[in-house]
A and B are shown apart, each in its own frame.
Chain A
Amino acid sequence: MTCAVERLNAQLLPERTQKPLQSFRIGLAQINPHLGDVSRNIQKHVDVIAQAETQAVDLLVFPELSLNGYFLEDLVSETAICLDDSRLEPLFEASQHMSLLFGMVEESADQRFYNSGVYLEAGQAHHVHRKVYLATYGMFDEGRYLAAGEHLRAFDTRFGRLGVLICEDFWHPSAVSVVHADGADLILGISSGPGRGVSGESQDLRSAQTWHNLNNLYARMFTNYVVYCNRVGYEDGVNFWGGSEVVGPDGAVIVRAPYFEETLVTAEISAAALRRQRSLLPLLRDERLDLTYRELRRIYRERYR
């Protein structure tokens, strides 16, 4: 059923060399990081990895800034981590057997601090997504402390082609569209989503409802898997609501973690389900990247002339 790529010449068009999505087991580590205590958080990651091993997890996903905590303020520069930091060794080591996605304040060679999602596989950092859309309004202050990423890229893994976005990136459909157009069959959204809105009109927090709507919408419209990993706990009185979930390409929730509780949930990602949905609803087949590009180019020319 899946298409082999080994015999294809790499000079062929990119989508001809893209590895189709494989079936695998994903784990969502809905944790409560310690604010500004990287060593303790690394140990926490190691502990959850050990727990995930007993459940045969192939890819384990942690929330946004899982190694640092979220409302860091001046702790951003004090807790920033370079990718070659020896403290990350246990995570690189663990990735020999289990692929990992976690969040951290990444210090670049030129001393900029990014809110990054780091994807480790086979002992290597396969991909680093630097959050593009830094939330800087209302309760959020990221733009004051962090540098914004400049890239939106899908990337190849042993499971197929994936995309990583971080929290506010998801609130920009353009960002999700680019990663989708770049071939991601499964989009990983990691988040430190604060819970707010406790009006009696709704059963859930208003912020939770919005996220569930977003995940459902992106999964259905892009006929993609959407994986959302949110954290829990409190920082300076702000709650993080959890509710991590895996949404299938038909929009169905495959697993959803409870609200507010530290937990590890797992789900099966099915290559067959993705193929079936794309047969039933060929939105991807009919997508017109060329047309979109032409029109965006025109808009760009007109707006920035």
Chain B
Amino acid sequence: MSASVKTDLVAKARNALDLNLPLTERILHSFIRNEVHKFGFTRAVLNLSGGIDSALSAYLAAGALGPENVLALLLPYRESNPDSRSDAEAVVAALGISSKLVEITPLVDSYFAEFADMDVKRRGNVLARARMIVLYDQSVAFDSLPLGTSNKTELLLGYSTLHGDMASAVNPIGDLYKTQVRQLSRHLGIPQPIIEKPPSADLWPGQSDEGELGFSYEDVDHVLYLLVDERYRPEELIAAGFERDFVERVARVVQSMQYKRRPPIIAKLSQRTIERDFRYPRDWGR
């Protein structure tokens, strides 16, 4: 009996995650225009990795602001998969946006040379943060706002680098689960190889998201949807037939990564502390 309950819940999640694509596209285009323009900008810049998430942000930005107002930064490291660069170049060519190639190898290798014992995780975080430095600097040079490329799955799982690839001014795709990123990417005509290749942060050779996480995006999106959007309790999903270890692990990761989704905490001393009781919208006066 529990197996059929699980089947029903999976079907429910699948239906809910199935996007109304034209409507989603319209809201996100308008979102980018609105939030970029009201801060006095007409242009946006983003790091284009060759992966599906940044490709989607680039397609949305080009559709919203016009290709002439979007700059894509290609920021390879010497160990980066060459396919990443050629996939990013395919996006640039397809959209007719401008691009700038900045090798980050000299920037990071001089630092790596100082700390020979760094593991791949530390090195990966340095790469992500070096790319953030370039993004924010180029955003000034291009008189533009930096666009985000983190999706909801990765934000919930904390599968990203704080102050690295998570850094942006405006993120159009942060409320789309990974499986929804794929749907919208197909709808917008993103080149098939980018949609179909196994997702990877490409921070070290052979890295794969699903290998590292230990589950498929489709499975985790269903569980995340039920836990987060529908507020099922983990015990309810387990009772319905979802695998206990999987559900508990997902719930634990979402909780333990909460710090990445919040600004740094501030020791409260005064009557009115920033964020706690000094509360203003970001679009204050816009």
A: residues with CB less than 8 A from B are 34-37, 71-75, 195, 198-205, 233-237, 239, 260
Contact = CB atoms under 8 A, between A and B. Distances in A.
A198 B20 contact: yes
B26 A235 contact: no
A207 B21 CA distance: 17
Contacts, number: 69
5 contacts: A73-B279, A75-B281, A198-B24, A202-B20, A236-B282
Contact of B21 (A72, A200, A237): A200
Interface in B240-286: 278-286
A237 B31 contact: yes
A34 B35 contact: no
Listed from nearest, the 3 A-B pairs whose CB atoms lie closest are: A200-B18, A73-B279, A234-B34
A74 B279 contact: yes
Given A73-B281, A235-B281, A201 B15 contact: yes
Name, among A75, A199, A202, A203, the residue most crowded by chain B CB atoms within 10 Å (CB to CB).
A199
Give the size category of B's interface with A: 20 to 34
A31 B118 CA distance: 55
B225 to A, nearest CB: 11
B20 A260 contact: no
Contacts of A199: 15-20
Given A234-B31, A239-B30, A198 B19 contact: yes
B63 to A, nearest CB: 15
Given A71-B283, A73-B279, 12 more contacts: A35-B286, A71-B281, A73-B281, A74-B278, A74-B280, A75-B284, A198-B20, A200-B21, A201-B15, A234-B31, A236-B282, A237-B31
Contacts of A233: 34
Given A36-B285, A74-B279, A236-B282, A260 B18 contact: no
Contacts of B116: none
B23 interface: yes
Contacts of B17: 199
Name, among A203, A237, A239, the residue most crowded by chain B CB atoms within 10 Å (CB to CB).
A237
A74 B284 CA distance: 10
Nearest to B272: A74
A66 to B, nearest CB: 16
A91 to B, nearest CB: 21
B134 interface: no
B27 interface: yes
Contacts of B284: 35-36, 75
Contacts of B27: 195, 198, 239, 260
Nearest to B172: A237
Given A35-B286, A199-B20, A200-B19, A239 B281 contact: no
